[in-house]
Each structure stands twice: as structure tokens, then as C-alpha cells.
Structure 1
Amino acid sequence: MSPVRITLKLATSLDGRIALADGTSQWITSSASRARAHELRAAHDAVMVGIGTVLKDDPLLTARTVPLPDRQPLRLVADSQARTPLTSKLMTTLNAAPVAIVTAGAEAPQHAAAGAQVWRCGNTIRVNPQDFVRRAAAEGINTILIEGGGQLAASFVRAGLIDEIAWFRAPILIGEEGLSGIGALGLTDLKTAARWRPVATERIGDDVLDTYVRSEQ
């Protein structure tokens, strides 16, 4: 069992799409669902996204609850080649909450000089999820919320490191041309697919939040 509990947060249409084909995603779920997602952030030690999400959306990743939490989560970027812009919201708000750039071996001296942590987790072209979890545990991180994107989510699902899924669904259909919330898993046999057990359902206006935990069966 992993020493770090990892929750995957998804916010999709009914057919599991996180954006239109052109990448438009604001906003699929309602403002009430987004407020609930901020509560999820506040309940975790760290929040993680991939570099694609940073380059496309320039997220802040702080927990903007009412009232604000006593402590902001550590903001993590899976950024194998250290491409996070120094002008991004993450790097220009280090006084609001800490940031760790998680690379696949890159040094990222410019990020370190600006005040961000740099975690080297792997020596290939992609961040190694197992190396990352070991580093997170060593840093005293007990819970992580993964928010996007699809490739990052898929890498942790493939590695068997997702313990819980918090899935927000909006009552719309986007179609197969939309972008999927989870990247390719490489399955060739349904028997090897990860199984999930529903444990809670929450109505948020017209949206629904379903919570699943990994099934041991």
C-alpha cells in the first residue's frame, strides 16, 4: 500500500469529456461544483497538475474557500523538462502557497532560484509516479489531489496509485470529439482493468459528485 493517499478529481460532461475538441473547458461544471472542488483542495496536503494544464490554463491551484483555509496545499507540477513559465500564476504567487516542480531529472535552477522546490523523480522523459510518491512521503505529504490533465491521470492509474476518485459530472453531452478526462491506459484485457467501488453520491445543483474508492476485488 502506498504511504501517500492519492485522489483523482475529474470534472466532466456525462460522457467523460473535460473540454471541446479545441480545448475550451470553461466552464463544464457549475460554480457550486467549483466551490466544492476548492473544499477538496483544502482537505489535501498537496494539489497536482501536469505541465500541459499549466501551459494551457495557467491555474493558480490555491484553495479559495470561504473562509480561507488555515494552510494552503503544496502546489505540484509534473513537469519533466522544467517548462513551467517563471511568469505563470504558480511562480508569481509563491508568497501565497509553496510550489514544487516535479521533473524527470532536470535541475530547474531558474525555478529553484525563484523560490520553488524542485523534485527530481525519474531519469527518463517522464516523471516516474513511484519515485514521486516516495519523494512526497519523504517530504511529509500524506494526501494528494490530482486535478489534471488526462495523461497525468492515466500515468497514476496505470501505476495503481489512485486510491479514490472524486468525479464531478455536469448534465451535458460533448461527444467523442471532445477531450477525454483520462488518457490511454493500454488495456488489452478487461480483467486487468482497475475496479472501483462507489461510496458516496452528492447532488450539487444539477451536477453530481460521485466518490469511488479502489476495490480490492
Structure 2
Amino acid sequence: HLRAGSDAVAVGMGTVLADDPLLTVRDVSPPRVPPLRVIFSREGRLPLTSRLAQRTGEAPVLVFAAAPDPNYDHELRGLGVDVVPASTLADALRVLAARGVRSLLVEGGANLATALLNEGLVDRLVILRAPVLLGEGSLPAFRGLAADAPNPRWETISSEWLEEDHLVVLAPRT
């Protein structure tokens, strides 16, 4: 439901390499326009064999790269992937806004989520907590969150139980 209600869905390159996600809407009626699939990467090297690169017909794919490789970009563009230079996350968000993206769902990973929080670029946190204890080797939701990050205090906007899982939506306290 979260993907279907978003203009774009984003992950970092670490998530792409670990999970090979599709980032498409599933289990609900598809939206009239599928969300743009966005990948944030320093070099823009989305694997050519990834499901995102191979299935661009399902929904558009956009890669933001701080230092894109023109030769590799050419190969990605040949698969239908749009590669856009963006030196900062704020620059990338401005490009998305100029393209009509008003809601961006960031699904992961920890490095991207932390960078967005550290730069004060998050206006909602949606946290889904499951009754599962994760042990050694599990991945954190955030990594290296700065003590002086903007919006360090959050308030609960909504809270809902989805069977055994607890969905909480937070917004920066003003």
C-alpha cells in the first residue's frame, strides 16, 4: 500500500546489491501510474543484470550518481535506465520535485536512511515493527546517525496494528 500511494520508491545501491529488488507495487490494485523506481549510488553502477535494469518496462528506473561513468551510463540507458548526476541528496530531491515527484518512499538501506536523516531531508518516518528478535548479522535501520542531526525529536502521527506487526508513523516535532 505504501508503494502504491507514492510517486517514487527509492533504495541505495547496497540494497540493490543485497536484495535485487523490483520495487514494484504488489498485492494491491496497481496505481494508474506506477511509482518511479529510484536508486541512489555514488558511481551509478546499477548491475546490468539486476531485475531493475532488466525490467524497465514495468516502471521507469532512475539512478542518481555523484560521479557517473559515461561509458557505463550508455549501457544503462540502452536498457531504458535514466542516469542523472546529482552531487548531493538535496540535489537529487530537487530533480525529483522538478519531475513531479511529491512523495518519495525510501525503503532502505541503513546508509541512505541515515544520510537523509543527517541532512534533515525526512518529513515522515514509517516504522514497521514485527515481533521478531534479530540476532548477529542482522542489519540496522540506521547506521551512524549524527547526534546533532536536524529534527532529533519526533512525534507519533499514527499508530496501527496489522495483525502482529505494529506500524508507526512519525513526523519531526516542530
Q: Find the counterpart in structure 1 of residue 45 from structure 2.
A: 83
Aligned pair count? 171
Q: Find the counterpart in structure 2 of residue 120 from structure 1.
A: 85
Structure 2: distance between partners of 1:66 and 1:40? 10
Structure 1: distance between partners of 2:62 and 2:11? 11
- For normalisation by structure 2, the TM-score amounts to 0.92
Shift of 1:67: 2.1
Q: Find the counterpart in structure 1 of residue 158 from structure 2.
A: 200
Check if 1:184 corresponds to 2:144.
yes
Of the candidates 141, 144, 153, which is equivalent to residue 101 of structure 2?
A: 141
* Alignment-mate amino acid for residue 80 of structure 2: G
* Alignment-mate amino acid for residue 132 of structure 2: I
Check if 1:40 corresponds to 2:5.
no
Superposed CA deviations along residues 187-211 of structure 1, whole A, max 9, x for unmatched, are 2x6x966111101111111110001
Superposed CA deviations along residues 157-213 of structure 1, whole A, max 9, x for unmatched, are 0010100011000012224763211111232x6x96611110111111111000111
SS at match of 2:90: helix
SS at match of 2:161: strand
Check if 1:213 corresponds to 2:167.
no
Structure 1 runs not aligned, ≥5 long = 1-38, 123-127
Superposed CA deviations along residues 44-96 of structure 1, whole A, max 9, x for unmatched, are 10000000000110000001133222221000001111221111110111111
- For normalisation by structure 1, the TM-score amounts to 0.74
Identify which of structures 1 and 2 has the higher relative contact order when contacts are C-alpha pairs closer than 8 Å and 6+ apart: 1
SS at match of 2:116: helix
Of the candidates 150, 161, 165, which is equivalent to residue 110 of structure 2?
A: 150
Instruction: List aligned pairs for 1:20-31, cutoff 5 A.
Output: none
Structure 2 runs not aligned, ≥5 long = none
Check if 1:58 corresponds to 2:20.
yes
* Alignment-mate amino acid for residue 65 of structure 1: D
Structure 2: distance between partners of 1:132 and 1:73? 16
Task: Indicate how the Cα distance of structure 1 residues 165 and 81 shifts in structure 2: closer, same or farther if over 3 A, else same.
Answer: same
Alpha-carbon contact 2:44-2:83 (below 8 Å) kept: no
Structure 1: distance between partners of 2:78 and 2:136? 43
Q: Find the counterpart in structure 1 of residue 67 from structure 2.
A: 105
Shift of 1:100: 0.2
